[in-house]
Structure 1
Amino acid sequence: MLKGKKARFLTVALAVVLAGSVLAGCSNKSSAGGKKVEQVIRYNLGADPKTIDPGLNSSVEGGTVIANAFEGLLDTDSKDQPVAGVAEKWEISTDGLKYTFHLRKDAKWSDGKAVTAGDFEYAWKRALDPNTASEYAYQLYYLKNGEAFNMSADPKATKKATADQVGVKAVDDVTLEVTLENPTPYFLSLMSFPTYMPLRKDVVDKDPKGWATKPETYVSNGAFKMKEWKPKDSITFVKNDNYWDKGKVKLDTLVYKLIDQETSYMSAFKSGQLDFIEAPPSQEIPNLVKEGTATISPYLGTYYYSFNVSDNAEKVNKDVAKVLKDVKVRKALTLAIDRKEIVESVTKGGQRPATSFVPRGIAEAAGKDFKQKDYYKETADVEQAKKLLADAGYPDGKGFPTIEILYNNGQGHQDIAQAVQDMLKKNLGISVTLRSVERKVQLTATNSHEYQVARNGWIADYADPMTFLDMWVTGGGNNVAGYSNPEYDKLITAAKSETDAAKRMTELHQAEDLLMNDMPIMPIYEYTNVVCIKDYVKNARKSSLGFVFFKDAYIEKK
């Protein structure tokens, strides 16, 4: 999904501070007629978030809201380097297994109560609790006994643990001790990840399902607090006057608009109703970039389609489930797609064809990118695709059932789906129907494996190949394909405990080899950030790991 923060151990440059329009700044006042500039930014979030509960969220949309409303133990600077957040200092044991965080005493919640170490312990254990059913629970498996506690309700689990045995403990109100299963070089990077945000037990336990939907109960500890949520229209946040670092927050109001149609939010941007949008209509991107209205920057993620190979697939459509369980079919469908044509003629945003699942931009070692191979051509390999389909028993598509592609609303997603539909028909003789739904519906359908083929995307949570690979372990919360391969699981487990960096990378390469050989997914392209931002918006930061940060943003004289 999501964003993470770059660890000090990693060498790849990850964050992009939007050029020109986001570089400078100080005063939040204008000298024009002595009038104060209205400090309001209207940013198009692009979809009504399924949830903005830090423990339950798994989308970039929800994550952006959370990242500006909450603050973790650590925050990030303009280059996505971990810096002090709620924790003002910390120590790491020589073996890399124990972290001791010391919280600042002036950290407060939006209702004025103190943020305590217990708030972090509660939030982390809540996300791991099997009753919470957090899709991102596995992101806390780095904690000692984290996985064992999360799997405690599974009768097949070989190792189980209680909440008290999980490696996080509030020693006192301002000291948090964390014990890991294995040394994890990028652990500090995770401390600003949504799932690791603190939560108030008294607030959440009182209304577990509804607390994050109402301004009066959405108690947060970051730069902004919720004022109003109008479903399918907007979510409004205002400056949190109880935030410990409020002196650096210049914005008074942050409005997230929830417009999912590209032409609509592009029109709103041009008319001045929006100050900041992403992913403008693809047909307009070349001219927008040429005239300087849009900028293109790195985005560490992969746009892909998933095949439903889960046990639930037959309940959706028995005939389609049967064909998709055949790896020859999945490979045939994947090889029939011309990714080069899609990025050049459809998306037009500087994307690169995805010929692996882990994209370019993640360092394996100094000067060496993890992506070292192409698992198939950038263009369609029609001959091989036809052969595979024939070997599976469907020569020229004869006898192959009509399949449905599910995607969330948006002209861009529709254009790609239509291109894929046309390519499968032309190259393999396969008929495809398309179904567009709201983002919430798409997330629910994919997470519950109630689809046939679906559009998906994954943005790195941190700058390591693991963020793209551990999601595909059996039963993983973000394993939308329902993929399962015991050998793959073993490689991921081994890589998570491996202290030899070179051997660890070898295990991750072997895991990706298995994933791309089994092909439960169809990578389409490597993301880029295409953004349009008004020149009076300063210091809004878009990370190449997904989220937009507004803590330091302000409006200059228009």
Structure 2
Amino acid sequence: MKYLTLVFLFSSISLYAKSELKLQISDSRIKPWLNFNDGYARSTFNTAVHGQALYFDTSLHIRPGYIKSWEWDYEKKKYTFEIDTSRKYSNGESISAYDFEYVLVKPFISTADTALDRVPLGFIKGVSKLKPGMSFKTGMVDGIRVTNNKSLEVYLASGHSRFLYSLGSRLPALGPISEFKSDHYTFKSIPIGSGPYRVSWSDPNSSTVHLKKVYGDGPSKVILFSEKYGFENDVDVAFGGGISKMYDFLTKNPGKYRRIQSKLPFAIQFLEFNHRAGVAADINFRKAVTYAIDKYSTLTASGSRTPIDQVIPNFSYGYKEKSNQYNLNRAKEIVANLPKAVREREHILLCHGAPGSDPGKYYRFIRDSLVEAGLKVKIELTEDMNTNNLSEKYPLVLYGKYVESYPLTTFAHYLPGNSHVTMPTNEQYEKVFAEAEAVEDLEKKVQLIHRLSEILRENYVVLPLYQRKFIYYKKNHIEAIGSKNEPAWNFNISEVKIHESKRKI
């Protein structure tokens, strides 16, 4: 019996050990740890190389990562975090509470585009005093106090109910403070982390990166492709939806990859109004745009893209079905009464994509809908969707935002000063938001979230279009992909299992 058990163990090990995974995470030319335009690529890399502070599942249960434990003091409005200092970086150093302090501070002192990183951490007391370009020093924020090498206290001005949910896969990378350049995000050399993988090689001429396993399960070697020329057709797993030339390859090679769709949506696509552009500050212009787009059209609402009427996904508590606002005749009436200069001006619809490339049917559908209503609109593609300081020449922005684990974190983006596309001050919205954040009763919180959605809808602040489920393409020898811990954006390379006997050479 013992002999049979050993045989089974050795045979199991032979199936999975020393495996290599080729994974395509985007088609960007940017190294994954610097890819602010593709948070999925960046979070996948960070989870593998740097580890996560905390992990979440579909029920919003929280599991420890490099944060070993946490405690909330209601009276002092303070979290006490204990860091797992038994973890070591790939250079041999132990992680420390000072390194975590740096993680919490760096979005506010970096000169990089860190708008989406700042919002969830903006509840920390004193961070509003920080400015981009500042040097880091411990104790520079009133609300963060390192008590010893393994613990620190974080004082919150507000937002305690959602703060823990900001400490997931999209938190900035944990690494030795001395290894970062002055922008606080770029490593001086290759990234150094305490995660289950380390960077073994980084191609100086492309964004391709090689990873080697340090501990835990998962493939022993990983090659991350994010090639600018499109789909790398020899990969074992590819993140679908947006990698150029992938669709053409799959059409010509049916059966080579299996398509898998995540259970939960990973992102919501919006049409957002840039209020710095005078025309978008006019509520009648925003109404016309809203009424012009039939998000339920079969031209775009299919497969992994389903229509949505709120800024939170339909699995989130607080979501409530709304009616479709599409009304083309009403849109035409409003456009006809807009100032002549607005009707004759060509408005730019800013979308993500390579300049000069085909915008695709989805972008063209949005543009054509607005043109049918009487507006003059042209599409402009950019690979840099930094909307934090968006020029007034762009009144309309098609934007995708990753689903937050906690709904109020999403609504926080539309508070004055927080949104990546500037929103006008709305005292009612701020008042209801503060009430929703403070109330402990879940039923009352849900009612207040409903009201927040209504305020955004009544004022035509943003037009939610679709929620997107994530698509993976995998070869047959991949038995399990790293999406066990939903929501969909928590792709964990350590959970990938490869059955080598099924691999076709």
- The interval holding the TM-score normalised by the smaller chain is 0.7 to 0.9
C-alpha deviation, 1:326, in angstroms: 1.3
The residue aligned with 1:331 is 287
Q: Answer yes or no: is 1:405 the counterpart of 2:349.
A: yes
1:138 to 119, 137, 140: 119
Would you say the 8 A contact 1:48–1:258 is kept in 2?
yes
The 3 A distance-change label for structure 1 pair 50 and 197 is closer
SS in 1 for 2:174: coil
Report the alpha carbon displacement of residue 374 of structure 1 after superposing the two structures with TM: 1.6
- Code of the residue aligned with 1:372 in structure 2: it is K
SS in 2 for 1:447: coil
Give the direction of change, closer, same or farther, for the CA distance of 1:98–1:545 in structure 2 (3 Å limit).
farther
How has the CA–CA distance of structure 1 residues 284 and 275 changed in structure 2, closer, same or farther, with 3 Å as cutoff?
Answer: closer
Equivalent positions of 1:419-430 (< 5 A) are 419-425=365-371, 427-430=372-375
Alpha-carbon deviations, 1:465-510, whole Å to 9, x = none? 213211112221xx23211223133433443333343443333333
Which residue number corresponds to residue 52 of structure 1? 33
Q: Does 1:65 align with 2:37?
A: no
**Closer, same or farther: CA 553–180 of 1 in aligned 2, 3 Å:** same
Identity, % of aligned pairs?
17
| 1:279 paired to 2:246 | no
For residues 285 and 420 of structure 1, do their structure 2 counterparts lie closer, same or farther at Cα, with a shift above 3 Å needed? farther
In structure 2, distance between residues paired with 1:504 and 1:130: 34
Give the Cα separation in 1 of the matches to 2:248 and 2:305: 14
* Other structure's SS at 2:186 match: helix
**For residues 366-398 of structure 1, what are the alpha-carbon distances to aligned partners after superposition, in whole Å with 9 as ceiling and x for unaligned?**
xxxx22242533xx311221222234346xx99
1:534 aligns with 2:475: yes
Q: Quick check: 2:113–2:388 contact (8 Å CA) kept in 1?
A: no
> Is 2:196 aligned against 1:223?
yes
Take 2:412 and 2:27, find their aligned partners in 1: how far apart are those partners? 27
Matched, 1:167 2:143: yes
Please give the alpha-carbon distance, in whole angstroms, between the structure 2 residues aligned to 1:375 and 1:287.
40
1:492 is aligned, of 405, 426, 433, to 433
Query: In the alignment, which residue of structure 2 is the partner of 1:127?
Result: 107
Work out which of the residue numbers 259, 272, 285 in structure 2 matches 1:306.
Answer: 272
Could you tell me which amino acid in structure 1 is paired with residue 237 of structure 2? Answer: D
Q: What is the alpha-carbon distance in structure 2 between the residues aligned to residue 499 and residue 76 of structure 1?
A: 21
Q: What is the CA–CA distance in structure 2 between the aligned matches of 1:523 and 1:174, rounded to whole Å?
A: 42
* Deviation digits for residues 47-101 of structure 1 (CA, Å, limit 9, x no counterpart): 24487269x8883332222222212332346976422222333434465933333
Q: Residue in 1 aligned with 2:408?
A: 466
Q: Does 1:43 align with 2:57?
A: no
* 1:448 corresponds to 2:389: yes
Q: Indicate yes or no: 2:183 matched with 1:209.
A: yes
**Are the aligned partners of 1:53 and 1:212 in contact in 2 as well (CA < 8 Å)?**
yes
CA distance in 2, matches of 1:30, 1:51: 29
Q: How does 1:473-512 map onto structure 2 within 5 Å?
A: 473-476=415-418, 479-487=419-427, 488-512=429-453
SS at match of 2:182: coil
Structure 1 residue aligned with 2:207: 234
Q: Cα RMSD (Å) of the superposition? A: 3.7
Encode CA deviations 1:17-73: one digit per residue, 9 max, x unaligned: xxxxxxxxx955339xxxx6532232232424487269x888333222222221233
Instruction: Name 1:376's counterpart in structure 2.
Output: 324
Question: Partner amino acid for 1:437?
Answer: T
Other-structure match for 1:85: 65
Shift of 1:449: 0.7
Aligned to 2:302: 348
CA contact (8 A) 1:48 1:232 kept: no
Indicate the residue corresponding to 1:294 in structure 2: 259
Q: CA deviation at 1:279?
A: 1.7
The one-letter code sitting in structure 2 at the alignment partner of 1:200 is P
Tell me the residue number matched to 1:3: none
**Taking CA–CA contacts closer than 8 Å with sequence separation of 6 or more, which of the two structures ends up with the larger relative contact order?**
1
CA distance in 2, matches of 1:486, 1:430: 28
Normalised by the length of structure 1, the TM-score is 0.74
SS in 1 for 2:313: coil
Equivalent pairs counted in the alignment come to: 476
Provide the C-alpha distance between the structure 1 equivalents of 2:353 and 2:21, rounded to a whole number of angstroms. Answer: 27
**Residue 524 of structure 1 is aligned with which of 449, 465, 478?**
465
Decide whether aligned partners of structure 1 residues 283 and 381 sit closer, same or farther in structure 2, where only a CA change above 3 A counts: farther
Task: For structure 1, list consecutive stretches of 5 or more residues without a partner in the other structure.
Answer: 1-25, 154-161, 314-321, 364-369
- 1:232–1:62 Cα change, 3 Å: farther
**TM-score (norm. length: structure 2):** 0.81
1:362 deviation in Å? 0.2
Tell me the equivalent position of 1:252: 220
1:10 is aligned to none
Distance of 2:310 and 2:46 partners within structure 1? 30
Q: Structure 1's 230 and 239: CA in aligned 2 closer, same or farther, altered over 3 A?
A: closer
**In the TM superposition, what is the alpha-carbon distance from 1:301 to its structure 2 partner?**
2.8
In structure 1, which of residues 192, 198, 214 is the aligned counterpart of residue 168 of structure 2?
192
Letter in 1 for 2:93: K
Distance 2:183 2:159 in 1: 35
Query: CA 1:288–1:309 in 2, change beyond 3 Å: closer, same or farther?
Result: farther
**Which of 341, 360, 385 is the matching residue for 1:414?**
360
